[in-house]
Amino acid sequence: MNPITVVFSLIGGLFLVFVMRLLSLSTVGASSPWWVYMVFLGIVFSGVMFIYTIVDERSKEDKIIEAEGKHFLEKYKRERKAFH
């Protein structure tokens, strides 16, 4: 696993704990409305999907770049062979 991924996961986890702690401390004696938790879960879900999309796009771009590189090398080898 990539060390940067681990660090950002830990930071994200600490942030979630901090936010949940703030939500629980802000309402002393009364519970928060249900929609507050839904908004919080929506924000977390959006962040997770954003990261998933970035990782997926990078892997697709890497595959495309690798395929183009192979095509270029094959073309270069054919031209070199034809030249000699």
pTM for the model stands at 0.54
Domain that holds residue 70: 33-84
What are the distances in angstroms from CA 73 to CA 60, 76, 80, 81, 84?
20, 5, 10, 12, 17
pLDDT of residue 26: 59
- pLDDT tens for each residue of 54-65: 889 999 999 999
Question: Which backbone phi and psi does 33 adopt, to 5 degrees?
Answer: -65, 155
The domain total for the chain is: 2
58 & 24 share domain: no
- One-character DSSP codes across 28-74: SSSPPPHHHHHHHHHHHHHHHHHHHHHHHHHHHHHHHHHHHHHHHHH
- pLDDT tens for each residue of 5-52: 777 778 888 887 787 777 776 555 556 677 777 887 788 788 888 888
61 & 80 share domain: yes
